[in-house]
Every structure is written in C-alpha cells, then in structure tokens.
Structure 1
Amino acid sequence: MNVIEVHGLRKEFKSYSSRKGLGGAFRDLLTRNYTVLRAVDDISLNVKQGEMVAYIGENGAGKSTTIKMLTGILTPTAGEVRVNGMDPHRQREAFVRTIGVVFGQRSQLWWDIAVQESFRLLKKVYRLSDEHYDTHMKEVIETLEIEPLLDKPVRKLSLGQRMRCELAAALIHNPPLLFLDEPTIGLDVLVKMKMREFLKNINRKYKTTILLTTHDLSDIEALCDRVVLLDEGRIIYDGGLEALQNNWVEGKQVEFEFQKPVAKEDLEHITRDFPVKWRAAEKLRGWKATVEGDDDTVSRVMSIVMSHHSISDVKLNQVSTEEVIRNIYEEGIHRHG
C-alpha cells in the first residue's frame, strides 16, 4: 500500500525585480518584471506504509517545498498528490488528522504556556478520548524522557528539550505518517540518539511511515534504508542507501595521520600511478585517500605512502554517506543534460 503517491509534481514561484530610479518605479506600477523559479520540477514518488525514507539535497534543492505540498501547506502548480488516500490541500481538515509534522525551524507548541497545556490543547484539536490520550502519551512521554519538562513554559526549554516535546506533540494522535523537516538541527549527540531510537521504536511498533529531510547524514545512516536525492528540483537518485554507496563510490577509503605536515601535491605525486583521490581529514596532519580497485591496489598505495612518510596512525574506513553525497555534487555527474 502506498502512503504517498506523487506524479509529475511541480511548484513554481514568481520572483519580481524592481527597475532603477524614479522612472523605473513608475514603470513598475504599470508592468512588473518577473522571472519564474521552478522549485520542484516534475517529480514522481511513491512511499509504502512503514518505510523510513530520507529526502535529501543541497539548500535550495526543493526539499522543504515538496514537504509543504505533501502536507497541504502549499498548492502544487501542476501534478497529482495523494497522501493517505487524500488530496492534502483540498481535503485539508480530514487530512491533517492523519499526519504528524515536525519542522526543526518552527514550533507547534505555545511559547508562554506549560508543555502539558499545549498537549491538552492539541488533544482537543484532534478530538482524542481521554483513554487514548492517557495511554498513548504516557508511553511517548516516558520514552522521550520529557516528564520533568511538562510543567515548564516552552520558552524556558533548551533546544534539545523543545525538540523532544515537538516530536511528542506531533505524535499525540498517533498518526500513520510522520514528516520530519530537519528535526535534529542544532541538537547535541545524546539528544539525537534518543530521538533516533524513539523513531525506530514507533516505526517497528506502529508501522509509522517516516519521511525525513536532514543535512545530518548520520541521521540517514541510523534510520533510513531508502534515500531520495534531490537536485535543482529533480530527483536524481531513488534507492537503497547501500546501493548509493556502492554505485557512486568505488573502492575503499584509507585515512592516514602523518607525524609531520604533508602537502596534498606530494601525496598526489607519489600515488600518481594509482586511481586515488586525496582529501583532507578532520585530524591534524590527516589525509583521506579514496582508492579505486581491489585489495591489492589498496595495499600498494598504503605501502608507497608509508615508505615516503612517517605515519602516526592509519585506518581503513568504509566510505561515509557524507563522502558519497559530496562526490555526487562535486563531480557533477548528476547534472541533467
């Protein structure tokens, strides 16, 4: 069963520009210059019940615009959208009862009242019975560890505390579909881990479908098996996370930490006979080598580097999702002709 069905979805915005000077201002009164920006460009997408899908791309790729159309906030310029069997924009009142939404940059909680009062107001909005609310929210509150926060006004919460409460608020009515737009932005590692574990639990227990947009690629690796990659309003990849890593980056990654500073040009020179790409690592005097080829090729590259330079440490890593995405955008092989 498809929870989300999108076909030929498009969203265009008009951008107006002003002419210079007083004369230009008068001309603007009569006719306006504008350009059409296509934020989402003819995308098609199906998401099945129980899937956890990462919807990712660079800033301006069209992620948030898509989410707003799927949740009924924006009306598409063209195309068909069915979410939970409904048109999100035309059947707005019935539709919003079947989804939960968390926007990392916006709050659905009332700023000056206690968290539990916001929950009670949302309970009335969704017309939930006392029994459903008490049973379901007790579990959510315990799992997210927010009971000590219920009596506090939202404005007095830290970012991590507020985001856990936002997630609880989105799940008050136990929706079958959850949209998460940058839900872990600015959070510390411990809070992220708690939220990820909670999302995996509700997915297992209730088959909750989750569509996640994020710039934190560790969220994707922890939660999602499927990745939809967006660029300039178009889907350029839709498939498994493992396949994405295998298809876009061949070979293995070796991370060297040198005892003395080493120039990239020197590393490229000594490994010029091998298919190697060098990139600076986070560690001081650290460099990463992505080596295409078999284990023998990797071993020979390691031997050459270590014969020319003193090494403090060396590690053989799996190429990270972050590296994969960076390679796709930097190499430009995703561009449409």
Structure 2
Amino acid sequence: MNVIETRELRKEFSVRVRRGLLRRERRTVAAVDGVDLTVQRGELLGYLGPNGAGKSTTLKMLTGVLHPSGGRVTVCGLTPVPQRIQLARRIGVVFGQRSQLWWDLPLRDSFELLRHIYRVPGGEHAARLRRCRDLLDLDEFLDTPVRQLSLGQRMRGELTAALLHGPQILFLDEPTIGLDVVSKQAVRGFLAELGERGDTTIVLTTHDLADIERLCRRIVVIDHGRVVHDGGIDALHARYGSQRRVVVDFDVAPAAPPVLPGVHLESATGPRLVFTLDGSASVGTLVSALTALGGLRDLSVAEPEIEEVIARLYRH
C-alpha cells in the first residue's frame, strides 16, 4: 500500500529582486518543481539535497503546512491541506528547530497533554510511552521541565511525543542536528528498531550522511526542486562512479605492478601500492594478480565514503 503519492508536485514563491538603486522586481521561484514520489507502508526513506533544494518545502506540503502550487499529493489517502485535521492524527512530525513540548512543564506532563489532544486511550498511551522510555532512556529526566533538558534529551522527548498517538508516518527533518555522539547513537538505534518493525513509515531529511548509511535502504535526492536520484546506496555508488581503494603491502616492492582494465595505480611508496578501482573492475581479479607476484604481506579494501558520492552527485 502506498502511503505517500505525489505527481508533478510544485511549490512556487514570489520574491522581490532589486533592480537598480530604488526599483524592485517581482520574480517567481520554483522551490519544488515537478516531484513524483511514491512511498510504501513501512519504508524508511532518506530524502536528501543541498540547502535550498526543496526538502523542507516538500515535507511541509506533505504535512499540510503549505498548499501546493500545482500537481497532486495524497498522504494516507488524504489530501493534506483540506483534510489537515484528519491527517494530523495519522502522522508524526519532528522538526529539529521546532518543539511540540511545553517549555515550562515536566516532560511527563507534556506527554499527558498530548494524550488528551489526540484523544488516545489511556492503555495505548501507557504502552507506547513505556516502550519509548525503555528504548530512549527517558526515566532519568521525565520529571524535568523541558527548558532544563539538554538538546539530546529534548530530541528524545520530541521523538516520543511524535509517536504517542500511533502515527502511520513519521516525518523527521534534521532529527540529529547538534546532538553529541551518544545522543545520536541513541536516536539512530531507536529509529532503526522502529524501521525494522515495519508498522511506521519514516521519511528522514538530514545532512548527516551517517544517519542515511545507518538507517535507509532507499534514498531520494532532490536538487533545484527536482528528483535527481531515487534508489539504494549501491545504485548511487554505481551511477556516480564511486571508486574503491585497495592498499597493498609487499615484503619487497614489485618490479612491475599488474595492469588491469578499470584498475589505476594511485601511488607507489616503497613496498606499499595503492590502487583505485572503477565500477568495471573486480577486486578479486586484482587480488589474484597481486598474489601471483609473490611476497604479498597485507591487503585492505576501502569502500567509498557516501559523503564523497553525494558531493560528486551535487557537483554533477
């Protein structure tokens, strides 16, 4: 079942541009320019793009905050803006720079207020809260006012608040921004377990590519309002020419390194050789050729970093 469907989704804004000393001209800018997107129930989707690409604008249209300028969008079978109240009961939203918690109340009281706002039965609320307390280690600060929480503690509270009414879809916009290493690990571990259960669809936008590697099987990349990639991380590597690196140490430097299609000798420093392999080359073939030379002492294969691949995509 598709829980999100968009066809030719557009959002345009009117901006005023300076023309001369006193004159300004109105211009239309397409923040989202014809996005086609289908997300199935239970998917954990990474939605990426550089600043200003249209990520947050897309999420705001999917959640009913912004009205599309054109195209069609349905979320959980509903049209977000005219059916915003019904949709709010089926989605959870966490924006890294926005809070749905009450600043001066203890965290526990914020959760109780949200239970009444969403009209969640007491038993369901207690069961979901107990699960979040266990997975996110909330107990030590449940009775602390939100204003006294650290950023990592507050983000764990925001995730819990977004899930207590049992949403079908969870929208996350930069959920780990500014968090320390321990808090990031806690949030990632929680989202990974939530994704494995398969009963909640997760749409994640982030600039922290470690979140994407850890959590997402499918990645959609948007740039200048258009989708430029939709697929897995492996497809991304293949499409944008990722290069694996093979580092080899010999007892004695070989007189003639092997020459193979798709394999390039990057450097040779004494008995250490470093090769780069494009998508057409096989590591196994290279290892066989190196072993045949004799005196092979050590070998390591470094897979390309996703940061390198995404940077190449943006430049492209």
TM-score (norm 1): 0.79
Farther off after superposition, 180-189 or 40-49: 180-189
Contact 2:34 2:226 in 1 (8 A): yes
- How far the C-alpha of 1:116 sits from its partner, in A, is 1.1
Contact 1:40 1:234 in 2 (8 A): yes
Contact 1:53 1:210 in 2 (8 A): yes
Letter in 2 for 1:49: R
Letter in 1 for 2:226: R
User: C-alpha offsets along residues 192-231 of structure 1, whole Å, 9 cap, x if unaligned?
Assistant: 2221221122233352100000111111111110000111
Q: Gaps spanning 5+ residues in structure 1: where?
A: 257-270, 279-287, 303-312, 333-337
Residue number in structure 2 paired with 1:132:
124
Using the alignment, how far apart are the partners of 2:265 and 2:103 within structure 1? Answer: 50
Using the alignment, how far apart are the partners of 2:282 and 2:197 within structure 1? Answer: 42
Question: CA, structure 1 residues 10+150, in 2 after alignment: closer, same or farther (shift >3 Å)?
Answer: same
Q: Gaps spanning 5+ residues in structure 2: where?
A: 249-258, 267-273, 291-297
Residue number in structure 1 paired with 2:56:
64
The secondary structure found in structure 2 opposite 1:42 is strand
Using the alignment, how far apart are the partners of 1:329 and 1:253 within structure 2? Answer: 22
Using the alignment, how far apart are the partners of 1:176 and 1:50 within structure 2? Answer: 9
1:79 aligns with 2:64: no
TM-score (norm 2): 0.84
Contact 1:249 1:319 in 2 (8 A): no
Letter in 2 for 1:48: Q
| One of 300, 313, 316 as aligned partner of 1:328 | 313
The secondary structure found in structure 2 opposite 1:34 is strand
1:1-337 to 2 correspondence within 5 Å?
1-17=1-17, 24=22, 33-205=25-197, 207-254=199-246, 290-292=276-278, 293-295=281-283, 315-330=300-315, 332=316
Letter in 2 for 1:324: V
Using the alignment, how far apart are the partners of 2:105 and 2:264 within structure 1? Answer: 57
Question: CA, structure 1 residues 59+124, in 2 after alignment: closer, same or farther (shift >3 Å)?
Answer: same
- How far the C-alpha of 1:190 sits from its partner, in A, is 2.0
- How far the C-alpha of 1:140 sits from its partner, in A, is 1.2
Contact 1:251 1:294 in 2 (8 A): no
Using the alignment, how far apart are the partners of 2:148 and 2:217 within structure 1? Answer: 36
Residue number in structure 1 paired with 2:254:
none
Larger helix percent: 1
- How far the C-alpha of 1:87 sits from its partner, in A, is 0.7
- How far the C-alpha of 1:68 sits from its partner, in A, is 0.5
- How far the C-alpha of 1:294 sits from its partner, in A, is 4.0
Letter in 2 for 1:168: T
Q: CA RMSD in A?
A: 2.8
The secondary structure found in structure 1 opposite 2:89 is helix
Using the alignment, how far apart are the partners of 1:86 and 1:180 within structure 2? Answer: 20
Using the alignment, how far apart are the partners of 1:11 and 1:276 within structure 2? Answer: 46
- How far the C-alpha of 1:321 sits from its partner, in A, is 1.4
User: C-alpha offsets along residues 146-187 of structure 1, whole Å, 9 cap, x if unaligned?
Assistant: 111111111111111110010000001011100010001111
Question: CA, structure 1 residues 169+296, in 2 after alignment: closer, same or farther (shift >3 Å)?
Answer: closer
Using the alignment, how far apart are the partners of 1:201 and 1:49 within structure 2? Answer: 16
Using the alignment, how far apart are the partners of 1:50 and 1:126 within structure 2? Answer: 22
Contact 1:277 1:291 in 2 (8 A): no
Letter in 2 for 1:46: T
Letter in 1 for 2:311: R
Question: CA, structure 1 residues 236+19, in 2 after alignment: closer, same or farther (shift >3 Å)?
Answer: closer
User: C-alpha offsets along residues 89-148 of structure 1, whole Å, 9 cap, x if unaligned?
Assistant: 110111100000000111111111111111111111101111111122111112110111
Moved over 6 A (4+): 296-299
Using the alignment, how far apart are the partners of 2:232 and 2:265 within structure 1? Answer: 25
How many residues were matched structurally? Answer: 293
Contact 1:7 1:45 in 2 (8 A): yes
Identity %: 47
Farther off after superposition, 197-206 or 319-328: 197-206
Letter in 2 for 1:66: T
The secondary structure found in structure 2 opposite 1:81 is strand
Question: CA, structure 1 residues 163+275, in 2 after alignment: closer, same or farther (shift >3 Å)?
Answer: same
Question: CA, structure 1 residues 121+17, in 2 after alignment: closer, same or farther (shift >3 Å)?
Answer: same
